[in-house]
């Protein structure tokens, strides 16, 4: 489903922690971001905003991976 949405042009791409440069440059219009990153980016670009959907959002998410050969 995500590949289909990307192919339709609704989604530009999928990325990891390197989302801040396209967001700061205006190449990305919206993303799922860490609040701390947005606060730092707003120091250089006050036009950036941060919003929470009225329907709710993820409070936080902690993830970890154990390599298969660990």
DSSP state of 10: S
Angstrom distance (rounded) from CA 14 to CA 21: 14
In this prediction the pTM is 0.60
In this predicted model, what pLDDT tens digit does every residue of 1-58 receive, in sequence order?
777 877 887 777 778 888 899 888 888 888 888 888 999 999 988 888 888 889 988 7
DSSP state of 19: G
Is the Cβ–Cβ distance between 19 and 33 less than 8 Å? yes
Mean pLDDT of the residues in the chain: 84
Rg, C-alpha atoms of the chain: 15
């Amino acid at each position: 489903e995500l590949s289909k949405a990307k192919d339709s042009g609704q989604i530009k791409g999928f990325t990891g922690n390197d989302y801040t440069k396209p967001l700061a440059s205006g190449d990305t219009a919206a993303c799922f971001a860490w609040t701390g990153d947005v606060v730092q980016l707003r120091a250089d670009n006050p036009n950036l905003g941060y919003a929470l959907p009225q329907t709710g959002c993820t409070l936080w998410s902690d993830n970890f991976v154990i390599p298969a050969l660990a």
